[in-house]
Amino acid sequence: MSNPTKIYRAALIGCGGRGMSLRNTANQIDRIDVVTAADMNGVNFEKLALEGVKTYHDFEEMLEKESLDIIIVATPISSHYQVASRVLDFPITGLYLEKSMATRLWEADQLVQKADEFGVYLVVGHQLRYNQGWANVRNLIDQDAIGQLHYIRAHRGAAMLTHHTHQTDLMRYYLDDSPVSWVLGQIHRDGLHLSEGLESEMQALGFVQFENGVSGIIEAGQYKPSAGNHLMLIGEKGDIRAGSDARYRNEDTGGIWQPIPLFDQPHIFEDFLRWIEDGPEHRCSGRKGRDTLEVLLAIYESSRSRGRVELPLKQRGNALEEMITGGILP
């Protein structure tokens, strides 16, 4: 039941740059108070202590000693499943887990299932669904500015599970999270390639067929010269370019590119509280984060099988990881 006066006690696990940024974002909401934090290396502890935040080197000790409502996990991606799974063993209300939520599909499925079983509201940090430069595109689509959408091209000069997950997730957001029918993909790697400490591909290309008939292209990795981070959307009546230089053109603009109008966007943590208090499902719910991860892992699986992969994905692991450990990829 909604309690508009409740103050939610929150904790941060992982106090690096991303974690501190999330802490500041959460604290923008008056009803969220990040009171404690944990980091095994003690990163930013002096700064946090000066601001009255109690710190721990062991996050489990923190969870055992503190009474908490919301946990924010901003540890390295390779640790997300292990940390989040343990967090869900404690009596909390909400878990904000940085993207990607896991590196294997079975891990994501277990986190979603465990959160459901324990009644925990799980959010995955695909925050671009709330960012003005990206989220306004969805409003424009909803206003039928370009008519029926036919094609989306998502490009980002980064590895899929560490950064391109944002662009892939936006592709799904713009299509109202339409399910994916199948994926056809290929990856390239010619030696050790780490992204945020995670074994990754150097380049990846994926063709995505959505159930609603829209086709999508995913381009990820190192390209020179870089085309930047953007999505191109082609509709029956016009086109949209999403990104920092967001713009659109249609019949009403005479085919001339125009800036995308500004729309009011809710705060990502304000929406989190709204969901907790019987509001609509969060834009970045764990279920949606899991489905985005499945698309990316399907590209790995398609590269391994050298063919089209139907979704739901039958393989529950991570084909890139398995090809590396099996000696198929360097």
pLDDT tens string 31-62:
999 999 999 999 999 999 999 999 999 999 99
- For the cut 70, the answer to whether the pLDDT of residue 5 exceeds it is yes
Q: Could you tell me the CA-to-CA distances from 135 to 170, 213, 240 in Å, in that order?
A: 8, 22, 12
pLDDT at 228: 77
User: What is the reported pTM?
Assistant: 0.96
**Mean pLDDT, range 68-78, rounded to an integer:** 98
Which domain-ending residue is among 103, 127, 151? 127
CA–CA separation, 135 and 126 (whole Å): 11
244 and 103 assigned to the same domain: no
**Top-confidence residue, 221 or 93:** 93
Query: What CATH number does residue 151 fall under?
Result: 3.30.360.10
162 and 230 assigned to the same domain: yes
* Residue 113 placed within a domain: yes
Phi and psi (nearest 5°) for 65? Answer: -95, -25
CA–CA separation, 288 and 235 (whole Å): 24
- For the cut 60, the answer to whether the pLDDT of residue 282 exceeds it is yes
Confidence band of 161 (pLDDT split at 50, 70, 90): very high
pLDDT at 227: 66
Which domain-ending residue is among 127, 155, 185? 127
pLDDT at 244: 78
Which domain-ending residue is among 93, 127, 161? 127
For the segment 176-211, what is each residue's pLDDT rounded down to a tens digit?
999 999 999 999 999 889 999 999 999 999 999 999
Contact 167, 224 (CB under 8 A): no
How many domains, in total, are found in the chain?
2
What is the percent of the chain with per-residue pLDDT over 90, rounded to a whole number? 93
41 and 167 assigned to the same domain: no
The range of the structural domain enclosing residue 114 comes to 8-127
Q: What is residue 13's three-state secondary structure?
A: strand
* Residue 270 placed within a domain: no
Q: Which residues contact 264 (CB under 8 A, 6 or more apart)?
A: none
Where b means 16+ CB within 10 Å and e means fewer, 142-155 reads: eeebbeebeebbbb
Q: Could you tell me the CA-to-CA distances from 289 to 28, 235, 265, 271 in Å, in that order?
A: 24, 26, 20, 16
* Residue 274 placed within a domain: no
243 and 137 assigned to the same domain: yes
* Residue 271 placed within a domain: no
From the centroid of its chain, how far is CA 264?
Answer: 21
